[in-house]
Chain A
Amino acid sequence: MQQIINFIVRNKNFLLYVLLLIISLAFTVQSHTYHQSRFFNSSNWITGNIYETTNGISSYFGLAKENKRLVEENKMLRNLLFNKKISTPVELDTTNIRYTIVSGKVIKNSYSDPRNYVTINRGEKDSVQPDMGVITAKGILGIVENVSNKFATVQSILNENSNINAKIKNTNHFGSLIWDTKQYNTVQLVDIPRLVPLTIGDTIVTGAMSSIFPENIPIGTIKKFNLDTSNSFYHIDVTLFNDMTNIKNVYIIDNINRPEILELESNTFSNDQ
């Protein structure tokens, strides 16, 4: 007993070091295989407020550009609205709403790590929940991962854990959108079968398989494509529409039918067992 105590006293620095290292490695390895930790992320109260304060100052510098971008978006939406043939006055059918939208602002963005997360200034009190989709005016941004009262972290599509259902526009050939961590303006679309005719410049949009994003949200265009090692699927490089280094205003999409879809799917799965 005496010897054990002596050993601990003699090596207390080393033991402390090993203990702290194991704690941090445990957190890290867990995040490699699974999601961000529930508590240690930048959506918490302290970091969120610090980011929001500094963002309140720095956002003035890009205000003119951001306004211009919003006007462009309005212009596009007006174009759509005026050119659509609607015989009766527009009336929102509230019994048939599938998606609700919350607007938000990015207060922290990163794009140089293998696992990038974006922090936004909307949280539980704005009815944002984990697993909601986040888009900008130009295309998709990511999926909400952790939520605090006032803030939320978003797993960006520039994250090696990201995996989003996507398809080639005007077809029903779908694949998974992943990121190889190399360039921040290029993501990869895999699992598109070989027989699909592809052209460089084709548009990639979100697919209908996901209960997170609505169908046909723009993602990017095909930059180049080649067959993967098995020679039966394409490996496609997609240039993003979004400039991931410069995003400010985002929209958070809530699919009202998602709980129902998930419940149905889990029931089906358990029936199969």
Chain B
Amino acid sequence: MISSSYFINVVRFTLLVLVQVLVFNRLNFFGFINPMVYILFLYWYPIKENRAVFIGLSFLLGFFIDFFSDTMAIHAASTVTIAYLRPAIMRFVFGVNYEFQSFRLGNATKAQQITFLALLIIVHHMVFFALEIFSLANILLILKKVLAIGLSTLVLCLLFSSLFSVRKE
């Protein structure tokens, strides 16, 4: 069981990096919309695992994306932020019962799943574009990008997560 979840996460990690840099970074829908589907890794990652490992893995994921897209370490900074904040977001969305042993993401209601994903995306994009544009004078531009790209990321992530849905056991 442990080795199979380990294997699945490695495959997910690799595939999401490749899909992100080879497909979605080249999308340029309307000239600027490049959805960041790799956030799904943090959405799918098992809840009960060691937190330090999770934070380290998220940092690596962001760093690999940065490698490919020449963005220094902006992806890494924003991904590690949502990795650290994930328990707080889960407590906000699912209430205390997510800490129970029997809790599974697949058992939560659709609305809860979408809220959870949307919150991850909003926080990630806020940090990302604030760092990328790096000036308070352009706050409207930051908000515009967060809104447009966040929405496209959300739609694509929902499509992906329904395509490769976690098995209900």
Contact = CB atoms under 8 A, between A and B. Distances in A.
Contact of A25 (B21, B55, B62, B73): B73
A31 B132 CA distance: 10
B95 interface: no
A68 B118 CA distance: 46
Interface in A166-186: 184
Q: How large is the interface on B (under 10, 10 to 19, 20 to 34, 35 or more residues)?
A: 35 or more
Contacts of A27: 72-73, 76
A21 B77 contact: yes
B159 to A, nearest CB: 22
Interface in A1-52: 12-14, 16-17, 20-21, 23-28, 30-32, 36-37, 40-42, 44, 46-47, 50-51
Interface stretch (A96-104, A108-116, A131-139, A211-219): A108-116
Contacts of B59: 20, 24
Contacts of B62: 24
Contacts of B160: none
Contacts of A108: 68
A108 B71 CA distance: 13
Contacts of B131: 25, 28
Nearest to A15: B52
B56 interface: yes
A105 to B, nearest CB: 16
B69 interface: yes
B123 to A, nearest CB: 13
A184 B31 CA distance: 8
Nearest to A23: B73
A20 B80 contact: yes
Interface in B30-55: 31-34, 51-52, 55
Given A21-B77, A24-B74, A112 B28 contact: yes
B134 interface: yes
B67 A47 contact: yes
B116 interface: no
B52 A112 contact: no
A125 B48 CA distance: 49
Given A42-B67, A112-B34, A13 B72 contact: no
A245 B18 CA distance: 21
B25 interface: yes
Contacts of A21: 77, 80-81
A21 B31 CA distance: 30
A108 B131 CA distance: 23
B108 interface: no
B22 interface: yes
A60 to B, nearest CB: 16
A206 interface: no
> For A30, A41, A184, which residue has the most chain B Cβ atoms within 10 angstroms?
A41
B133 A40 contact: no
13 contacts: A13-B52, A20-B56, A24-B76, A25-B131, A28-B74, A40-B73, A42-B68, A42-B70, A47-B68, A108-B68, A114-B133, A115-B70, A117-B70
Given A20-B55, A112-B32, 17 more contacts: A13-B84, A17-B55, A17-B81, A17-B84, A20-B56, A21-B77, A21-B81, A23-B73, A24-B63, A27-B72, A28-B131, A31-B72, A40-B67, A50-B21, A113-B69, A114-B133, A115-B70
Q: Which 7 A-B pairs have the closest CB atoms?
A: A24-B73, A24-B77, A117-B70, A27-B73, A17-B84, A24-B76, A31-B72
